[in-house]
Amino acid sequence: MFEFLMSGSLILLVLSIFACLYRVWKGPSMPDRIQALDTIGITLVGGVAIFSVLLGTHAFLEVILIVGILSFIGTIAFARSLERGVVIERKRVD
Amino acid sequence: MKRPNDLLLRAVSKVAVLIILTFSINLFYSGHHNPGGGFIGGLGVTAALILLFLTYDIETVTDNLPVDFKKVAAIGVLIAVGTGAGSFFFDAAFLSQTFGYFDIPVFGKTELATAVLFDLGVALAVIGSAVTIIQTISEDE
């Protein structure tokens, strides 16, 4: 029963990743695509956590932190590029 | 053009950089028996530095952190090759390693391995090369 529930939630997470991929591909505007990429990162974190519970190991917990950090930095870089046109500034303007 | 307001980003990144650096050091030291090691630890430090570059600008960070990252990469490769060649002095093959158990006052019985020195070289090489790449491709001209 437990493994059935875990496998079912993994399948649902994969389906939601596919929904986010549709939004990345189709998204009318750029912020939609960035939001969808961030949501894919969060869903990956959840999937790794469920996989770790399913296998009964804590070897994947570092993966969760690394994916969270990289998704955070990637979203910030996309937002900077969208708002100012330049990702890393040479000299601050204000 | 209106001046962008990134107060929230600065407040978050002041805490997040500290957490990322601490986690990178944890990854670096856990690399002997668990997932981790020099490469991913160096990439974690690079992620923290990239977050600083994104939040502030390059000149502020390099003023407060006056390190030439090309030299960091060179020193890292030198340490890694040096620990590899150091095994010649003990009549062992290139890059062979050893470990031992020592009694250290605070930590008790601790395992010390020579692979940590090689990992330190790898981490410094990764930090230097990755930050140099980021600084080079972010130039406007």
B109 bridge partner residues? B103
Mean per-residue pLDDT for A44-72? Answer: 90
Residue B122 has what pLDDT? 92
**Residue B97: strand, helix, or coil:** coil
Residues A79-94 pLDDT 10s = 888 887 777 777 766 5
pTM: 0.84
Number of H helices, E strands in chain B: 5, 2
CB atoms within 10 A of CB A62: 19
Tell me how close the Cα of B94 comes to any Cα of chain A, in angstroms. 31
* pLDDT (0 to 100) of residue B3: 62
pLDDT confidence tier of residue A15, bands split at 50, 70 and 90: very high
Q: Is the pLDDT of residue A5 over 90?
A: yes
Please indicate whether, in this complex, the C-beta atoms of A69 and B47 are within 8 angstroms of each other: yes
- Chain B residues whose beta carbon lies within 8 Å of the beta carbon of residue A89: 57-58
Nearest CA in chain A to B9: A76
pLDDT along chain B (141 residues), means of 10: 74 92 90 81 92 86 88 93 86 79 79 84 93 83 53
Partner-chain contact B60 A92, CB within 8 Å: yes
pLDDT for the residue numbered B99: 80
Q: Report the 10 Å Cβ neighbour count for A36.
A: 19
* A73, A77, A86: residue with CB nearest B140: A86
A86 to chain B, any CB pair closer than 8 A? The answer is: yes
A5-10: long-range contacts, CB 8 A cutoff, minimum separation 24: A6/A50, A6/A53, A6/A54, A7/A54, A9/A50, A10/A47, A10/A50, A10/A51, A10/A54
pLDDT at site B140: 63
Cα separation, A3 vs A9, whole angstroms: 10
Closest-CA distance of chain B to residue A35, Å = 17
Question: What is residue B141's predicted lDDT score, i.e. its pLDDT?
Answer: 53
Domains of chain B by residue range: 7-137
Separation between Cα atoms, residue A30 and residue A78, nearest integer Å? 9
Chain A to chain B Cβ contacts (< 8 Å): 53
* pLDDT beyond 80 at A12: yes
Min CA distance, B24 vs chain A (Å)? 10
Q: What mean pLDDT is reported for chain A?
A: 89
Say if residue A7's pLDDT is above 80: yes
